[in-house]
Amino acid sequence: MDDEWDDSPAVVLPPPVANNGYYEDNVDEGHSLSRGRGFQSFNDNDYSKDMDNGFGERRGRGGGRGRGGRGGRGGSREPRNFDSNGDFNDEERDRGERGDRGRGRGRGRGGGGRGGRHNDGGEDNDGGGDDEMKKAPVTYVPPEPTDNEQEMFSSTISSGINFDKFDRIAVKVSGENPPRPIESFESANLRKSVLENIARSGYKKPTPIQKHAIPIITEGRDLMGCAQTGSGKTAAFLVPIINKILEEGAPLTVSPNAQPQVIIVSPTRELTLQIFNEARKFSYGSVVKVAVAYGGTAVRHQSDNISRGCHILVATPGRLHDFVDRRRVSFEQVRCVVLDEADRMLDMGFMPTVEKMMEHPTMVPSNERQTLMFSATFPEDIQHLAGRFLNNYLFIAVGIVGGASTDVEQIFHQVTRYEKQNTLKKLIEENDGKRVLVFVETKRNADFIAAMLSEQQMLTSSIHGDRMQQEREEALHNFKSGRHCILVATAVAARGLDIKNVDIVVNYDLPKSIDEYVHRIGRTGRVGNRGMAVSFFDADHDVALMADLAKILRQADQPVPDFLEGGGTATYTGNKYGGSDVRKFGNAPSNIPQGQEPEEEW
Ligand SMILES: Nc1ncnc2c1ncn2[C@@H]1O[C@H](COP(=O)(O)OP(=O)(O)OP(=O)(O)O)[C@@H](O)[C@H]1O
C-alpha cells in the first residue's frame, strides 16, 4: 500500500525569487481564472463524474482542470443555466450544493460525509488515502517556509486604534480554581526567546483572551476559550505551548513514525498553514520544531519533513489521519491537543475525524494530556459534545460568545438576486484600491464572479475547494500581497484567516448560518482596527437569517435596517447559542469595569 501511496516524484518548485515564496511565473493574473476546471465544467453539469481525491480536491474529467495549458479568458464562453443577469439561477445553485453533499455521502468514508452544516469550501476532513491511491497522486510541493526574520514577522496585523478598548470587554472565566490572569507578557514567566518573539511580532500587551489563557495553559489546565474574531486566540495558545515545551525540555523523538508532543488541528488547509507559520514565529531562534500536514500537497514531501522530528504538528484532520493510518505519525507522546475553530471541528462534519483522533489506540487519555479548544462561536450543543474530550476544564468567554466584532461596521443592502452583480461592481468602483473579500455560497459562483470582475479590469482571484491547492495558495498570496485587490471566496476563507488590510468584506450571498456570518465579517476589523462588512440581503433567499442578523446588529450597537426587523425569533435566544459555560458554574465575571454590567449572554 505504501508503495502506491506516493511513489511519484514530487514536483519541486524552483526557489522563490521574491520574499513571498511564490515566484512570479506562477502568479495568477485575474485572466487565468478560466484555466483548467473553470468554465469547462459549467457546461457539462455532471457533478457525479467529478472525482474527489479525498483531500477535498476535485478533478474534472479528463484532467480538464489541470494546470497545463492556459484556457481562454474568463467568461469567454457563455455557460448554460445562467439567468439573464449572467449569475447562476437558484435551481442550478441548489443542484450544485446537493451534488456536493451527495458525493460526500456516496464515498461512504470518513464518517459518512458531512452533516448538517453547509460546506462548499474545500475544508479538509476526509483522510482519503484510498481514493488518492486510485488516482494520480498530488504532486504539489508548497514553497519552503521562510527563515528570514523580517519576512516571518511581517505578516502580523498592526493593532488598531480600538485595541485598548479590548480591556473594557467583560471576561467571564468559569470552572474550578482558575489561575489569576496576567497583566503583561513580562509578568507571565515566559522564556527569554518567547518574549523576544512576542516583541518581534509587535505585541506590546496581551489581549484579554491571552491574559486569561496563558496562565491557564501554563498550569496545564484544559480550556475552552471563546473570544471575538481577530482578538489574538492563536497566540493565546501558541505562546504558552511553546514556552512549556522549552521549559520542560522533553527530548525530540526522531523516527519514521513521528511522535509529536503537541497536535493542533484546524478545519482548512490555509488556516493550518497560517497556524504553522505563527508557531514558527513564536518558536523562532529556539529548539522547538514545528511541522505541518495538510491536503492537496505531495504526501512524501510532508512525510519526510515530519519524520525529521517535530514537537508540534499542525494539521488538517484528513491528512493527519492519513499519516496516522500509515504509521507515519503516532499520538503516544502527545501532551497537548488543540482544536482551533473548535465548534466547526466538533460539528457533524468533522466530529467523526476528531473522535477517531481522540480515541485512537495510541492517543494519551484525556486525563493525562491537555486539551484546548478555541473559537469565536461556540453553540451550546457543541459545548456539550466537547465536554467528553475535556478534563475538568476552564471556560473563558470574552464578551458575547458568538457576537460580531464591534469594530466591523455592518451595512446591508436589500437587493434581488438580479441586482447583486451591478451592486457589487458599483461598490468596488466606489472603493477603488481598497482590498475587498467577497463571499459567495458556491464554488462555481466564486469562479464566475471572479471572472466577471476580471473582465472589468478589476484584478481578482478566487479561492474555493475545487481549485488546486497551488492555485488556492497563489490566490491567497496575491490578495495578501495586494497584487489582486479582490478575492472571491467560498466558506473556505470564512474562518481564522488573518489577512492584513482587508478593508471590506462583502456577503454577495449571505451564509446559511449566523455563526458563519460572524466568522466571515471577522476577516476585517481585526486587533482593534476598523473594518466594514457589506451584505446583500435577498428577501427571497435570506429570510431565515433575518432575526439572527437583527440580533447580531443590536448586540454590536449598530442600526438595524427596517427590512431586517420583524423577522421572527432569533434561533439562538438567551443562553442557547453558547453565551455561557454549559456546566453553569456560578463564577463572577472577572473584570467587569466599574459601573458596567456584564454583556448580555446568549
Ligand atoms: N497582543 C497582541 N498585540 C498586538 N497584535 C496581536 C496580539 N495578539 C495577536 N495579535 C495579532 O492580531 C491578529 C489576529 O490574531 P488571531 O489571528 O490570533 O485572531 P483570532 O482571535 O484567532 O481570530 P479568528 O477568530 O478570526 O480566528 C494577528 O495578526 C495577530 O498577530
pLDDT > 90? residue 346: yes
| Cβ(232) – ligand 1 distance below 6 Å | yes
The pLDDT score that the predictor gives to residue 486 is 98
| Cβ(399) – ligand 1 distance below 6 Å | no
Q: Whose CA is nearest to atom 20 of ligand 1?
A: 230
The pLDDT score that the predictor gives to residue 572 is 53
| Cβ atoms of residues 124 and 55 within 8 Å | yes
52 pLDDT band (50/70/90 cuts)?
very low
The answer to whether position 491 is within a domain reads: yes
The answer to whether position 159 is within a domain reads: no
Looking up cell 464566475 gives: 448
With b for 16 or more beta-carbon neighbours within 10 A and e for fewer, the 77-111 pattern comes to: eebeeeeeeebbeeebbebbbeebbebbeebebbb
The pLDDT score that the predictor gives to residue 79 is 33
Atom of ligand 1 nearest to the CA of 209: 21
**170 compared with 63, residue with greater pLDDT:** 170
Mean per-residue pLDDT, 39-58? 27
With H, G, I as helix, E, B as strand and everything else as coil, classify residue 436.
strand
Domain finish residue from 373, 398, 423: 398
Distance from C-alpha of 543 to C-alpha of 568, rounded to nearest angstrom:
10
The pLDDT score that the predictor gives to residue 570 is 66
Q: Are residues 446 and 555 located together in one domain of the fold?
A: yes
Separation of CA 228 and ligand 1 centre (Å): 10
The pLDDT score that the predictor gives to residue 416 is 97
Dihedral angle, C-alpha 196, 201, 204, 207, nearest 10 °: -120
The pLDDT score that the predictor gives to residue 156 is 84
Q: Crossing angle for the helix pair 233-248 and 269-282, nearest 10 degrees?
A: 50
| Cβ(206) – ligand 1 distance below 6 Å | yes
* Residue range(s) defining the domain that contains residue 191: 167-398
Distance from C-alpha of 27 to C-alpha of 459, rounded to nearest angstrom:
12
Mean per-residue pLDDT, 214-239? 98
Q: Are residues 232 and 364 located together in one domain of the fold?
A: yes
The answer to whether position 524 is within a domain reads: yes
Atom of ligand 1 nearest to the CA of 204: 3
Domain tally, the chain: 2
Looking up cell 477603488 gives: 432
| Cβ(352) – ligand 1 distance below 6 Å | no
Looking up cell 531562534 gives: 285
C-alpha cell at 27: 502568479
| Cβ(522) – ligand 1 distance below 6 Å | yes
Q: Are residues 281 and 357 located together in one domain of the fold?
A: yes
Separation of CA 526 and ligand 1 centre (Å): 7
Q: Are residues 215 and 274 located together in one domain of the fold?
A: yes
Q: Are residues 246 and 291 located together in one domain of the fold?
A: yes
The pick from 498, 521, 523 for probing ligand 1's pocket by mutation, whose C-beta has the most ligand atoms within 8 angstroms, reads 498
Q: Give me the helices (H) in 348-442, please.
A: 351-358, 380-387, 420-430
The answer to whether position 162 is within a domain reads: no
Q: Of the candidates 338, 134, 308, 140, which has an alpha carbon nearest to the alpha carbon of residue 224?
A: 338
With H, G, I as helix, E, B as strand and everything else as coil, classify residue 30.
helix
Angle at alpha carbon of residue 272, lines to 271 and 276, rounded to 5°: 115
Mean per-residue pLDDT, 308-318? 96
Q: Are residues 296 and 316 located together in one domain of the fold?
A: yes
67 pLDDT band (50/70/90 cuts)?
very low
The pick from 152, 153, 155, 156 for probing ligand 1's pocket by mutation, whose C-beta has the most ligand atoms within 8 angstroms, reads 156
Q: Are residues 390 and 481 located together in one domain of the fold?
A: no
Atom of ligand 1 nearest to the CA of 234: 18
The pLDDT score that the predictor gives to residue 581 is 79
Q: What is the ipTM of this complex?
A: 0.99
Radius of gyration of the chain (CA): 23
pLDDT > 90? residue 60: no
The answer to whether position 157 is within a domain reads: no
The answer to whether position 551 is within a domain reads: yes
407 pLDDT band (50/70/90 cuts)?
very high
The phi and psi torsions of 415 (rounded to 5 degrees) equal -140, 160
586 pLDDT band (50/70/90 cuts)?
low
pLDDT > 90? residue 463: yes
The predicted model scores a pTM of: 0.81
Separation of CA 281 and ligand 1 centre (Å): 13
The answer to whether position 278 is within a domain reads: yes
Q: Give me the helices (H) in 266-341, please.
A: 269-282, 299-307, 317-325
Q: Are residues 191 and 314 located together in one domain of the fold?
A: yes
Q: Whose CA is nearest to atom 10 of ligand 1?
A: 232
Domain finish residue from 347, 372, 398: 398
Separation of CA 590 and ligand 1 centre (Å): 22
* Residues whose CB falls within 8 Å of the CB of residue 98, separated by 6 or more in sequence, listed in order: none
Q: Of the candidates 31, 42, 129, which has an alpha carbon nearest to the alpha carbon of residue 456?
A: 31
Separation of CA 527 and ligand 1 centre (Å): 6
Atom of ligand 1 nearest to the CA of 271: 27
137 pLDDT band (50/70/90 cuts)?
confident
The pLDDT score that the predictor gives to residue 2 is 35
Q: Are residues 376 and 440 located together in one domain of the fold?
A: no
**535 compared with 123, residue with greater pLDDT:** 535
Looking up cell 494520480 gives: 136
Domain finish residue from 364, 398, 432: 398
Give me the CATH number covering residue 174: 3.40.50.300
Separation of CA 145 and ligand 1 centre (Å): 20
Q: Are residues 177 and 317 located together in one domain of the fold?
A: yes
Reduced DSSP (H G I as helix, E B as strand, rest coil) percent helix, strand, coil of the chain, to 5: 35, 15, 50
Tens of pLDDT, residue by residue over 495-552, are: 999 999 999 999 999 999 999 999 999 999 999 999 999 999 999 999 999 999 999 9
Separation of CA 437 and ligand 1 centre (Å): 19
Atom of ligand 1 nearest to the CA of 278: 31
Distance from C-alpha of 493 to C-alpha of 63, rounded to nearest angstrom:
26
pLDDT > 70? residue 579: no
Tens of pLDDT, residue by residue over 227-274, are: 999 999 999 999 999 999 999 988 888 888 899 999 999 999 999 999
Could you tell me whether strands 262-265 and 336-340 are parallel, antiparallel, or unpaired per DSSP bridges? Answer: parallel
Tens of pLDDT, residue by residue over 109-119, are: 333 333 334 34
Q: Whose CA is nearest to atom 3 of ligand 1?
A: 203
| Cβ(315) – ligand 1 distance below 6 Å | no
| Cβ(207) – ligand 1 distance below 6 Å | yes
pLDDT > 50? residue 187: yes
| Cβ atoms of residues 47 and 103 within 8 Å | yes
Separation of CA 267 and ligand 1 centre (Å): 18
The length of the chain, given as a count of residues: 602
Mean per-residue pLDDT, 444-460? 95
The answer to whether position 575 is within a domain reads: no
Looking up cell 496585523 gives: 157
Q: Are residues 455 and 489 located together in one domain of the fold?
A: yes
pLDDT > 60? residue 356: yes
The pLDDT score that the predictor gives to residue 280 is 98
32 pLDDT band (50/70/90 cuts)?
very low
Mean per-residue pLDDT, 150-155? 91
Q: Are residues 310 and 428 located together in one domain of the fold?
A: no
Mean residue pLDDT across the chain: 79
